[in-house]
């Protein structure tokens, strides 16, 4: 059984009850809030392992909550999964740009949501002991990647990446010189296969490029296929 504590911010009482029941049945401890402002305050006070955040909230929108969570040092590394309506693609992309790790479209399958949550939490978990032949440190000029320490340095200065961004960068670097398709990245980084979410990969790559600065040019776009970290 899991003992991770999750915060659900959702203003629809029926959906909130469904989420609470589903997540508690899966072994999680659940905190709940029904508006953005109280959800943000609860996240700051209780420091949950993840926030499941509806976009359409009264008072303070889910996008604003996500922006604040990623701005504040205490919650900047807390994973966020957004709950969105089917027609809110633009808002989903904005949410990913702000630092959300993933999103689930309503109406959603409770089983799918639990799988997504476990996949995101796994990205941020400490790495297991590597096999003797497995390489754990990579250096590309001034870009340093330490898989065991979960640490990235740019020209000697540590750069803060989310768990998803770190796993995306490590997947590209470990396969440097080889093209990784969007489907491959979805499977290895996000931990599942599904259709229609290729924009998720593109948005995270764009955000990753912004964070690695001068080394962004090493992450090449292979038009119509995917991405490659060049030699």
Check residue 59 and give its pLDDT: 86
Low-confidence ranges of the chain (pLDDT < 50): 1, 128-133
| Per-domain boundaries in the chain | 5-123, 137-229
If we measure between CA atoms, which residue out of 133, 216, 135, 120 comes closest to residue 174?
A: 135
Dihedral sign (CA 7, 88, 113, 194)? negative
Check residue 189 and give its pLDDT: 83
What top-level class would CATH report for the domain 5-123? alpha beta
The CATH classification number of 137-229 equals 1.10.10.10
Neighbours of 55 (CB within 10 A): 22
pTM of the model: 0.67
């Amino acid at each position: 059984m899991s003992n991770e504590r999750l915060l659900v911010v959702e203003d629809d009482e029926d959906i909130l009850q469904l989420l609470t029941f589903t997540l508690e049945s899966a072994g999680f401890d659940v905190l709940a809030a029904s508006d953005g402002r109280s959800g943000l305050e609860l996240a700051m006070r209780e420091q949950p392992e993840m926030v499941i955040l509806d976009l359409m909230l009264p008072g303070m929108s889910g996008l604003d909550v996500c922006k604040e969570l990623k701005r504040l040092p205490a919650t900047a590394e807390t994973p966020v999964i957004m709950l969105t309506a089917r027609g809110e693609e633009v808002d989903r992309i904005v949410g990913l740009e702000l630092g959300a790790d993933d999103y689930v479209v309503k109406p959603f399958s409770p089983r799918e949501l639990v799988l997504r949550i476990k996949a995101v939490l796994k990205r941020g978990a400490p790495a297991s002991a590597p096999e003797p032949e497995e390489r754990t440190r990579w250096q590309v000029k001034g870009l340093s990647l330490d898989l065991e320490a979960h640490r990235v340095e740019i020209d000697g200065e540590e750069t803060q990446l989310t768990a998803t961004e770190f796993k995306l960068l490590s997947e590209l670097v470990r396969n440097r010189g080889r093209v990784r398709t969007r489907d491959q990245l979805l499977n290895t980084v996000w931990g599942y296969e599904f259709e229609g979410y290729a924009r998720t990969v593109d948005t995270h790559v764009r955000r990753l490029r912004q964070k690695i600065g001068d080394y962004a040019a090493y992450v090449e776009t292979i038009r119509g296929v995917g991405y490659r970290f060049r030699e």
